[in-house]
């Protein structure tokens, strides 16, 4: 298993721990306590992991201020470099959360005209969206694409072909199920969903707009970024 998969799993597991185990914690108090440090170190040990984890706790306090705690645990690299709060990880499919959040913000945006909802058909605002099955193409909504139920299987080899435009890729990929028949994990649909902010907003939003300025969004040059964690296989 790759280190960044471990990271994703750890993050989900920890947030559940954090939010369900301390219902009585006063709001001002720290969450990343020595107890929790031990718990996280224990998980890494239990998984026999040579890698590490970055943990962030963000919550809105009663006074309207944000409480932010960040900390690194374990090793970032096999040379023994430790994970710090600035270590970057290959985020892999956790980037889908950013896509879902960006689309959710547009759905909540009352100044958007026309408004969109989770059930809005994608062709209504991205007319180029065209799969092999025209009926499925016309009926596919945002939530269909987001919940992996368009009928299209992974076709991940196409996913790597960044020089072929997505509308061209999708048109020639065979579905293996009907729309909404079942869950089939599909990365291409998240590429499609990532175009929604661009299609609906006057300016293309970037991660720098939300002050995420030390990360990169492309594979190109990724491994040259300082403070990057190494990919390791247990």
**Residue 211 CB, nearest approach to ligand NAG (Å):** 5
Q: Using CB under 6 A, which residues numbered 117 to 176 contact ligand NAG?
A: none
Name the CA radius of gyration of the chain, rounded: 20
**Long-range pairs for 124-128 at CB < 8 Å and ≥24 separation?**
125/196, 125/199, 125/200, 126/192, 126/195, 126/196, 126/199, 128/167
143 vs 201, beta carbon nearer ligand NAG? 201
Q: Which stretch binds ligand NAG (CB under 6 A): 61-69, 157-165, 188-196, 207-215?
A: 207-215
Q: Among residues 16, 105, 147, 198, which is the contact residue for ligand NAG, using CB under 6 A?
A: 105
Does 198 contact ligand NAG by CB under 6 A? no
Nearest to 105 by CA among 11, 201, 186, 188: 201
How many other CB atoms sit within 10 Å of the CB of residue 218?
7
Residue 101 touches ligand NAG, criterion: CB under 6 A: no
Q: How far is the CB of 202 from ligand NAG (least distance, A)?
A: 6
Under 8 Å between Cβ of 199 and 126 = yes
CB of 109 to ligand NAG, least distance (A): 4
- Report if residue 78 touches ligand NAG, rule: CB under 6 A: no
């Amino acid at each position: 298993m790759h280190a960044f998969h471990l990271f994703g799993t750890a993050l989900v597991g920890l947030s559940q721990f954090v939010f369900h185990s301390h219902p009585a914690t006063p709001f001002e108090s720290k969450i990343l306590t020595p107890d929790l440090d031990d718990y996280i170190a224990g998980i890494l040990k239990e998984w026999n992991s040579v890698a590490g984890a970055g943990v962030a706790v963000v919550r809105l306090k009663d006074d309207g201020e944000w409480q932010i705690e960040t900390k690194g645990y374990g090793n970032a690299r096999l040379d023994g470099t430790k994970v710090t709060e600035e270590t970057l990880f290959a985020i892999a499919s956790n980037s889908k959360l950013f896509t879902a959040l960006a689309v959710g913000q547009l759905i909540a945006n009352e100044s958007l005209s026309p408004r969109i909802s989770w059930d809005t058909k994608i062709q209504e605002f991205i007319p180029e969206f065209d799969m092999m099955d025209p009926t499925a193409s016309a009926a596919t909504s945002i939530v269909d694409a987001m919940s992996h139920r368009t009928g299209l299987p992974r076709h991940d080899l196409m996913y790597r072909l960044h020089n072929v435009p997505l509308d061209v890729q999708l048109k020639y990929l065979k579905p293996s199920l009907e729309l909404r028949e079942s869950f089939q994990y599909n990365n291409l649909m998240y590429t499609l969903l990532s175009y929604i902010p661009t299609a609906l907003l006057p300016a293309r939003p970037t991660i720098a707009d939300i002050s995420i300025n030390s990360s990169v969004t492309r594979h190109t040059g990724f491994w040259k970024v300082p403070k990057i964690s190494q990919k390791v296989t247990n």
